[in-house]
Amino acid sequence: MLGCIFDREAETIPRREKHFASRALAAISALLILITGWLMLNGVQTIEDVGDLAAFGSLVFQILVPLFLFVVLFMATTSSVLAVSQEKDRKTLDLLLLSSMTNWEIVIGKFSVGLLNGVNLLLPASVVWFCVTLFGGVSFSQITEAIWLGVGVILLGSSLGSMVSFWRDKTFQSLAICFLGLLFLFGGLHWISQTRLAIAIGLESMSPIHAVAVCVQPIRSTELSSFGLSSPLAAAILMIGFSVVFNLLAIVCLRSWNPSRTKRIRVSNEESLYSESRSNAGAEPSGTWKGRNSKHVWNNPILWREVCTWAYGRKVLAVRFAYVAMAAIVFYAIQTLIHSGIVLHRSDLENELVPPLSLWCGAFFILSMVIVNALAVNSVANERDANALELLLASEITPTAFLVGKIGGVLFVAKEMVGLPLLLPIVIWLQGCLSMENLLFVELSLIALNLFVVMLGIHCAMIYEQSRIAIGTSLGTVFFLFVGVIVCMLMMIGFRGSFERQLAPFLGIILGGGAALYMGIVSRRPSAALTLAAFGLPFLTFFAITSFLLRGQELTVFSVLTFAYGFTTIAMFIPAWSDFEFSFSHDRMASEKN
């Protein structure tokens, strides 16, 4: 009923080893968080009655649900984008359009990739959620609402990813538009739900952000929201409605979007006159043939192409505009916080460890670096998809020229994503909310992290044959690295106590993160330096988080972060700088397809 593409995906995805590995990883991650929280609770206080157990269960539930909803949204969106982009990169989407399949079958088939991958992570996570009820503090109705929210975000992310990737030709454009689109959608719904009109007509529950906050509350009002539904269920239905709209739009516009107009052959006036003259007179047309003026290419042609041409499509301007608009909102929100006195004067919560200003800045920085990483990995993956890497290897271009050209080109194209985060701390410093010393620490740390995400994207694109795997590995590494930081901070804040004694409970998460980094960026190119970086990076990041929460150790945080991520960047850069590391092994291609 849903078409042959959906049937193929439903039959082949469960056969892959990565399907079971991701499912096991989701369950193990949730259990690690649960066990780590229990060890931290046991180490800082004595459990006297069932009330303490219920408080623990409620606190763990408040960490697990938002975390996994965020993860499944990211995975569903990215999987759908890469599924369609792979068809476009291989030039097989045009063959699908020429077949007897309808628009419905093609769109739903590709939409199902993100749907199946998201459900694959949600199911094991929901099992752990039910286990949390054994401690108390969490009801079965809360878990049911959390599952409904998970279904909603999966459908929303999958439909948005497939629609945007059918619309746009470049993978980077699709990824950036999806990330920014989700941010604007959730932020816009949350802002609308807080207006007086929405509250008056009972639409305050339309915000998914508010719905997640209501879902994880241990004690809440039993009153129903608009239309007799609870807030999480109403938000889930709203996201499902958006998913239906996105899928219908993709079905209606599929053949008008594809093939893209930029790929259609356009014959110039000179060529048409030449062809007409040849057919009529059988001779050359009168007059002279006017060719294109030659362009001056720099000594580094890779850098020239990245800077002086539209290597990532002209529609990248739309991504820049959307990002600048989002940055303007962030700047306005931070200015509002500063002028309201929340930053200069502490709030009523005297034990607040992470100020609101840090939360806004941190989210803005993370989104910027994810977009920069997506551009970096696509800068090399596009060369591979266009079969241009073999020509580069046969040319006189050196590895140094290639790396410098790609790194410089990515930083130039993503100048807004790099420059505006560097400008934000300066604005805060001018308002008197940041010292000159801390301003220098923040600026240098951002530069080190941006170089890390750029080099990580190039490294992954160089060691993986398939663009889909390279992009997924690179984005997944950046995403889960920052998510791990957020989880550690949330758990440290939730379980107060001596931070020096929290290393032992976190060893499982640290070792798991090191193993994941090793499998992602080291296993295909074994290196002693990269191995040390893979297992040392989670530990040093944990040490930096602890130092940050202890306050008064800004120099320690700066030194550890710059050393950890700078060393990892150099460990990835030096092997690629010494020689090209592209692999064209058919055996590896076959293994990646599995």
Q: Which residues contact 411 (CB under 8 A, 6 or more apart)?
A: 418, 450, 454
Buried b (16+ CB within 10 A) or exposed e, 177-213: bbbbbbbeebeebeeebeeeebeeeebbbbbbebbbe
List the chain residues with pLDDT less than 50.
Answer: 222-223, 264-290, 344-352, 584-594
Dihedral (C-alpha) 107, 243, 113, 72: value to the nearest 10 degrees? 160
Q: Given CA atoms 428, 431, 435, 439 in this order, what sign does their dihedral have?
A: positive
Q: Which of 85, 150, 164 is nearest to 118 (CA)?
A: 150
Contacts 24+ apart (CB under 8 A), 25-28: 25/516, 26/68, 26/71, 26/120, 26/121, 26/124, 26/125, 27/124, 27/125, 27/127, 27/128, 28/512
Q: How is residue 101 written in tokens?
A: 């399949």
Rounded Cα–Cα distance for residues 55 and 496 (Å): 13
Rounded Cα–Cα distance for residues 30 and 67 (Å): 10
Contact 68, 121 (CB under 8 A): yes
What separation in angstroms does the CA of 364 have from each of 183, 324, 367, 369, 518?
A: 11, 12, 5, 9, 28
Q: Give the SS3 label for residue 210.
A: helix
Rounded Cα–Cα distance for residues 72 and 74 (Å): 5
- DSSP for 323-368, please give it: HHHHHHHHHHHHHHHHHHTTTTS--S-TT--S-HHHHHHHHHHHHH
- Element spanning 513, H or E: helix 507-517
For the question of whether the overall pTM of this predicted structure is more than 0.75, the answer is: yes
Beta-carbon count within 10 A of 416 CB: 16
Amino acid identity for residue 229 in this structure: L
Structure-token match 């408080």, residue found: 55
Q: State residue 168's pLDDT score.
A: 86
Cα Rg of the chain (Å, integer)? 26
Q: Give the SS3 label for residue 527.
A: coil
Q: How is residue 90 written in tokens?
A: 């291989």
Classify residue 86 by burial, with Cβ atoms within 10 Å: 0-12, 13-18, 19+: buried
Q: In whole angstroms, what separates CA 403 from the centre of its chain?
A: 24
Contact 190, 199 (CB under 8 A): no
Q: How is residue 173 written in tokens?
A: 């454009």
Q: Give the SS3 label for residue 290.
A: coil
Structure-token match 């939730």, residue found: 494
Rounded Cα–Cα distance for residues 151 and 82 (Å): 20
Q: How is residue 292 written in tokens?
A: 């294109």
Question: Vertex 159, ends 156 and 161: CA angle to 5°?
Answer: 100
